[in-house]
Amino acid sequence: MTTITNLNSVKPTKPWKVTKRQLIPSLTLLLAAAIATYVVVAVTPMKGKLAYALLFFIFGTGFQSALSWSKRGKSAATDTIAAAIMMTGGILVFLPVASLLITTIVKGSKGLRLQIFTNTMEKTSYSDPLTTGGLLHAIIGTLFLVLIATAISLPLSILTALYLTEIKGKASALIQFLVQAMSGVPSVVAGIFIYAALLLTTDLRGSTIIGALPLAILMIPTVTRTAQEVLLLVPNELREAGLALGATQWKTVATIVVPAARNGLITAVILGVARIAGETAPLLFTLGTSDKINWNIFSGGQNALPYYVWSGLIDGTESGLARSWTGILVLLILVLTLFVSARSFGSRKVK
């Protein structure tokens, strides 16, 4: 039997890892593929970025799989082609994401000045040069809408989630089904529903509070689903401990379960807000727009970040579009901040 000191002198290795040396043939082939691409482009009428990309893919994959075939046989060649396709698919998917982010940052930062956070469009029109005007009213409007929508949807969502996880009554299957169904309602349908219900046959006109209603409808499924997931993560032992102490179910839930899931519930709300902050369509039917901040949430129009972007797009002038990009940039920063904070809340340990 070997002694302890001998055992520790052997070092762990991973002989299956592809070494740099082994990569050399592949890299050489890729180089050859690049050369072949240039040659073909020069010689044939194929032109343009698409031609380069396509040819490089074909030559690169072709050469590599030929090498695999010669060294290891047919199935290795298929494997190489498959791997190449997977990687290309991945790149194709991430290109738009990169483009979306980069375009937004580049185009949006043109109109980004400190003043846009303090001015409104009260005295400016969208086609005016970018040195005037701002989107403060849009930010405030989005804030109002989000707050009202959250105030309405939060209680409903949390209580529904609690029903599903704590009471698990006979209606659970039905309610689960309904929450799922609600998550598929398109935003435009939510908007025209509120219109049909409240505005079509009455004297009511669109207002901030009415505009928040379809947003609440869109928010409920997201918050409910996430809340349900985090409530299920609370260990049953905690509930049993509370009940064993003689507390009622409601006390147990209120004082033990909900605080334990607190971080997760915050995540749920944040995700819900992220979902609705960028919604445009519902507002078109339930809320008039406005060039300034409207402190009256019960009457009159209101602007919001997506609305602001939309108006700039409709305007179509260079300034208008530039404003749209800036609005989108601000909206994107807002959504990304929410996204990141939701993640950080979600990963914090339950106390």
Partner 1 sequence: MISAAALAKSTPEKRLITTKPRTSDVIFRGVLTTMSMSSLLILTLIGLFLSLRGFQAFQTQGIGFITKVDWSAGVDGGADTFGLGAMIIGTLLISATALVIGVPLSVLTALYLTFYAPESLKRSLVTLVDLMASFPSILYGLWGFIVLMPMAEYWAQLIHKYLGWIPLFSIPSPAYARSPFIAGLVLAIMIIPIVTSVSREIFNQTPLDRIQAAYALGATRWAMIKAVVLPFGASGVVGGAMLGLGRALGETVAVYSVLNIVFKVNFQVLYGFGGNIASMIVGKWGEASLTESKALLAAGFVLFVMTLIVNLLANFIVRRTVKTGK
Partner 2 sequence: MSNVNEENNGEDMSTTSPSTNSLSSVAAQHAANRQPGNAPLGSGLEARGIHAWFGKHHALADVSLDFAAGTVTALIGPSGCGKSTFIRTLNRMHEFIPSAAMAGEVLLDGKDIYEPGIDVTKIRLQIGMVFQKPNPFPSMTIGQNVLSGLKLAQIKSPKSNDDLLEECLTRAGLWGEVKDRLGAHAAGLSGGQQQRLCIARSLAVNPKVLLMDEPCSALDPGSTLRIEDTIGQLAKTMTIIIVTHNMQQAARVSDYTAFFLSDGGPGQMIEVGPTNEMFSRPKDERTENYVSGRFG
Closest CB 288 distance from partner 1, rounded Å: 12
- 78 belongs to the binding site for partner 2 (CB under 8 A): yes
Binding partner of residue 183 among partner 2, partner 1, none, CB under 5 to 8 Å per kind?
partner 1
Residue with Cβ nearer partner 1 (79 or 123): 79
Q: Residues 28, 44, 70, 75: which binds partner 2 (CB under 8 A)?
A: 75
Binding partner of residue 302 among partner 1, partner 2, none, CB under 5 to 8 Å per kind?
none
Q: Residues 5, 19, 236, 347: which binds partner 2 (CB under 8 A)?
A: 19
Span interacting with partner 2, options 14-22, 97-105, 226-234, 254-262, rule CB under 8 A = 14-22
Q: Is the CB of residue 102 less than 8 Å from the CB of residue 325?
A: no
And the tokens for 175? 């309610």
Helix (H, G, I), strand (E, B) or coil at 207: strand
Binding partner of residue 11 among partner 2, partner 1, none, CB under 5 to 8 Å per kind?
partner 2
Q: Which residues pair with 207 in a beta bridge?
A: 300
Q: Residues 73, 155, 169, 235: which binds partner 2 (CB under 8 A)?
A: 73
Distance CA 240, CA 166 (A): 12
How far is C-alpha 76 from the geometric centre of its chain's CA atoms?
Answer: 38
Q: Is the CB of residue 208 less than 8 Å from the CB of residue 287?
A: yes
Distance CA 33, CA 23 (A): 15
Q: Is the CB of residue 322 less than 8 Å from the CB of residue 133?
A: no
Amino acid at 290: S
Residue with Cβ nearer partner 1 (48 or 114): 48
- 74 belongs to the binding site for partner 2 (CB under 8 A): yes
DSSP 269: H
Q: Which residue do the tokens 């701002």 mark?
A: 134
Binding partner of residue 10 among partner 2, partner 1, none, CB under 5 to 8 Å per kind?
partner 2
Closest CB 254 distance from partner 1, rounded Å: 9
Distance CA 185, CA 194 (A): 13
Measured in residues, the chain has a length of: 351
* Burial classification of residue 81, based on how many CB atoms lie within 10 Å of its CB (0-12 exposed, 13-18 middle, 19 or more buried): middle
Q: Is the CB of residue 278 less than 8 Å from the CB of residue 151?
A: no
Closest CB 213 distance from partner 1, rounded Å: 10
Binding partner of residue 281 among partner 1, partner 2, none, CB under 5 to 8 Å per kind?
partner 1
Residue with Cβ nearer partner 1 (137 or 275): 275
Nearest residue to 261 (alpha-carbon basis) of 165, 153, 149: 165
Binding partner of residue 6 among partner 2, partner 1, none, CB under 5 to 8 Å per kind?
partner 2
Closest CB 309 distance from partner 1, rounded Å: 5
Closest CB 1 distance from partner 1, rounded Å: 31
Residue with Cβ nearer partner 1 (144 or 307): 307
- 70 belongs to the binding site for partner 2 (CB under 8 A): no
Residue with Cβ nearer partner 2 (21 or 168): 21
Distance CA 107, CA 112 (A): 9
Task: Give me the residues that bind partner 2 (CB under 8 A), please.
Answer: 1-2, 4, 6-7, 10-16, 19, 21-22, 71-76, 78
